A and B are shown apart, each in its own frame.
Chain A
Amino acid sequence: MKNLILFLWLPLITYSQNSIEGVITEVNSDNKSVPVVSANIYWLNTTVGTVTDKDGRFSIAYKPSYSKLIISYVGYKTDTLTIDNPKFIKHTLTPSDELDTVMIVNRKKATSKSYLKATNTFTVSSDELLKAACCNLSESFETNPSIDVNFADAVSGTKQIKMLGLTSPYILISTENIPSIRGASQAYGLSFIPGTWVESIQITKGAGSVVNGYESMAGQINAELQKPSKDYKLFVNAYVANSERLELNTHFNTQVSDKWHTGLYLHGDLLNEKHDRNNDNFLDMPLFKQINVMNRWQYTNAEKGIVSFINARYLLDEKQSGEVNFNPDTDQLTTNAWGSEINTERFEISGKLGYVNPELPWQSLGVQVAFSNHQQDSYFGLRRYDIQQNSLYSNLIYNSIISDSRHKIKTGVSFTYDSYDELVESTNFERIENSVGAFFEYNYDDLEHLNLTAGVRADQHNRLGFFITPRLHLRYTPWEKSALRASVGRGIRSANIFAENQNLFATSRNIIIENANGKIYGLDPEISWNFGVSYLQGFNLFNRKADVTLDFYRTDFQNQVVIDWENPQEISFYNLKGESYANSFQIEFNYNVFEGADLRMAYKNYDVKTQYNSGKKVRPLTPEHRVFVNIEYKTKPKENGARWKFDTTFNWLSEQRYPDTSMSPAQFLQPELSPTIGTLNAQITKVFSSKFEVYLGGENISNVRQPNPIIGANDPFGSNFDSTFVYGPIFGSMYYAGLRFKIK
């Protein structure tokens, strides 16, 4: 036994005798020598290495055959020391060219398309988000041709987005890769994410990744929020518009310890002034107030490869709309005056934990868990609508490689739970949905011409049953600066018919559900296949960078919950009997006209048709053609960052089909098609320094208005009242000004 102990001890003793110790330092901005933590120390051409501790000290094994000791650290020049005999080493690192980072910021494009990824994804940075100063996620897409922003109705003031011709329920919208705008928050959820909280947005057209679930049909939009470790220590954005809308955003970020950062994000939004420019006795936009508070905690431990985020959020949102003289205290749910209130309260808590193996950088493990409670109490005239949703989302992802880093895999399991409790007028709807699933995604990158991602997931859902979701993305580069992409994928979801179509309550239409003994409101799940191809080509035009993108996508529904507005007295929901598809073609051209000036032009064509009970028709309020032009000019920044920025966006939509009104009495008859509409937005930003800037802008400068957006406005309790025939702006032009103050 003694022998054994001795035997075990021996190697340790030998080890400590043959090692070198030392300390690594750097010179900080105050010209003081400070230790460098976690610098890499290793012997050239060996696997023998170590890192420095919190005092910059290290100890490394030594053999006379080792001679070159390498010391490296991110952001510093790597040094090689020649070691002749094992003595104490004292070494100072010098920072590598610091200008590098500045250069990258300068060259960064506000919206960037990837030439390499398999998916047709583009990233919208916070710079792009600043182009439209206002105000939340739904408004931030107005400078983006791939996403259409429309008003959902003439009452709630809600903006609705569309991608590939399909409305937002068909898009998987996530924050930090956790599906967030779904179910109860589908209608107004985009306005619950303040624009300044968003660090960047990734938009993927076509079938998304299987990692985030099976629900995406037309695409995915992911918003990355500000990170406490990277965001400004203090950020203030104040905004005021001539509609008397006020908005205030403040961020406070601080480092708590060497591994913990925390951020507190506050958002307040208020409109307290009644406007009725078109004199229809209805407010052009609702009165509202929103309070939105988020606290984020970030834990980073680079040595152990651990990153974690913990978020808690509270939201209170209140809207009042309807007739100008409506007083909620006395007129609520009466026929004194038509009015509506939508009050939402939401709690959210989420956590992410990521572990990257410091030894094997390709191996990582991630866990995401999110819980939310969403409560909306609302009424529209005499119609009540309340919804409560409790939602739990959890996802575990393991990343690794097969043989080498050209073959990557992602695999994992997920569990989701949603409980819905709805009151629709006087009927209660309750349901629970849960699912457990597993996914596997393989990515191959030959580092040159081909990149492909093939994923599949299998899920067991209490209402949708057992199903397989396959998805494939492919990118091929036939020649320089080009990317040819193709994708195909399946999506499945349960339609929350009331929550997603809340604009129906601001009509006098009767709600009809054609019960098919399905498991969601008597209806079946929606199932679709999406196919797409796209081609991106970069080139030089008069020695300046340009690129052109062509893409075509088709979403084909195997089943859809058809929303039928074709009878002016009714809204019906039924399972698709026949064909329903959305074809989308887009051509986009980007050009850097001269230093600082960028031009983006796009044309889009939609062919979106559905088989209704009354025949196959174009989806209502979906324009066939859209033209988009955005011009941006920035002056060169001075040393302190001072510069001017100009930005203008023009949008034109062709005629949009109105739902059939041929059965209405003559005074309520609507034409078959809406007029065309063109709008112009512009913004000027004056940056005084990297700390302070002001902006001034106008939305819909040409003051285009839809004259009579509400049908039957003079008899809102009559049988022909309808506020959903909205094709364009109601309020007309709006001007705003604001300031941003930020401290690093």
Chain B
Amino acid sequence: MKRIILIVTLLVTTVTFAQNKNAKASLEVNGVCLMCKERIEKAAIRTKGVKSAIWNLDTHELKLIYDERKTDLTKIQKKIIAVGHDTKEMKATDEAYASVHACCKYRDEDIQKDHKMGKSN
């Protein structure tokens, strides 16, 4: 009997683990400025199940904490590409990319350069 309880307990723990309420993940999301940061974070946080989303301008890393029972990384990435930002795995459609502000056209090398220059000034 004891052993069964133990196994059950272990199983339950594993199940809970697999369905982590506060799962952590990082995505690489492309963007160039603080306006992008706002747009990316908003898109992520507005995905049901995402609890916290913080994007780093320098590293392009989007740190996520989300409820695995309600969402997954694919769903979150879909939301992000829908507002026009590419992730490492998924590309935004041209329509979505066209919707970002002119200064945020991160695919454009000139704009990337502009933002880099702004930083070193």
Q: Which residues of A contact B (CB under 8 A)?
A: 3-4, 42, 44-47, 49, 70, 72, 77-78, 80, 96-97, 99-100, 103, 359-362, 401, 403-406, 447-448
Contacts and interface: CB of A to CB of B under 8 A. Distances in A.
Contact of A361 (B26, B52, B58, B61): B52
B112 interface: no
Contacts of B88: 44
23 contacts: A3-B3, A4-B6, A42-B26, A44-B26, A45-B25, A45-B89, A47-B20, A49-B24, A70-B61, A72-B59, A72-B61, A78-B56, A78-B60, A96-B59, A103-B119, A359-B22, A360-B51, A360-B65, A362-B52, A401-B52, A404-B51, A405-B52, A447-B45
A216 B21 CA distance: 39
A522 B1 CA distance: 72
Interface of B is mostly: mixed
A70, A361, A404, A448: residue with the most chain B Cβ atoms closer than 10 Å: A404
Contacts of A44: 26, 28, 88
Contacts of A401: 51-52
A70 B26 CA distance: 9
B42 interface: yes
B6, B20, B27, B52: residue with the most chain A Cβ atoms closer than 10 Å: B52
Contacts of B50: 404
Interface of B: 3, 6, 20, 22-28, 38, 41-42, 45, 50-53, 56, 58-61, 65, 73, 88-89, 119-121
Contact of B24 (A47, A70, A96, A404): A47
Nearest to A401: B51
A557 to B, nearest CB: 42
Nearest to B68: A47
A532 to B, nearest CB: 28
Contacts of B22: 359-360
B25 A78 contact: no
What 3 pairs across the A-B complex have the smallest Cβ distances? A78-B59, A404-B51, A405-B52
Contacts of B38: 447
A697 B23 CA distance: 58
Nearest to A360: B22
Given A47-B20, A47-B24, A448-B42, A403 B51 contact: yes
Contacts of A78: 56, 58-61
A97 B119 contact: yes
A45 B27 contact: yes
Contacts of B6: 4
Given A103-B121, A404-B51, 13 more contacts: A3-B3, A45-B25, A45-B26, A45-B27, A45-B73, A45-B89, A46-B25, A100-B119, A359-B24, A362-B51, A401-B51, A404-B50, A447-B38
Contacts of A3: 3
Nearest to B27: A45
Contacts of B53: 405
Given A78-B61, A447-B42, A405 B51 contact: yes
A97 B42 contact: no
B83 to A, nearest CB: 12
A406 B120 CA distance: 33
Nearest to B23: A47
Contacts of A77: 58-59
A42 B119 CA distance: 28
A80 B51 CA distance: 25
Contacts of B41: 447
Contacts of A447: 38, 41-42, 45
Contacts of A360: 22, 51-52, 65
A162 B76 CA distance: 51
Nearest to B47: A404
A405 B54 CA distance: 10
A403 B46 CA distance: 11
B85 to A, nearest CB: 16
Nearest to A361: B52
A540 B28 CA distance: 35
A44 B25 CA distance: 8
Contacts of B61: 70, 72, 78
Nearest to B116: A97
B71 to A, nearest CB: 11
Contacts of B58: 77-78, 96-97
A406 to B, nearest CB: 6
A99 B42 contact: no
Contacts of B56: 78
A301 B20 CA distance: 27
Nearest to B61: A78
A77 B65 CA distance: 22
Given A45-B73, A362-B52, A404-B50, A97 B120 contact: yes
Nearest to A49: B24
A261 B58 CA distance: 30
A14 B120 CA distance: 48
Nearest to A78: B59
Contacts of A362: 51-52
A99 B119 contact: yes
A404 B52 contact: yes
Contact of A99 (B26, B65, B120): B120
A121 to B, nearest CB: 21
A99 B22 CA distance: 35
B87 to A, nearest CB: 10
A107 to B, nearest CB: 11
Contacts of B121: 103
A44 B88 CA distance: 10
Contacts of B28: 44, 80
A479 B38 CA distance: 16
Contacts of A100: 119
A103 B119 CA distance: 8
B24 to A, nearest CB: 5
A44 B3 CA distance: 37
Nearest to B119: A97
Contacts of A361: 52, 65
A42 B23 CA distance: 13
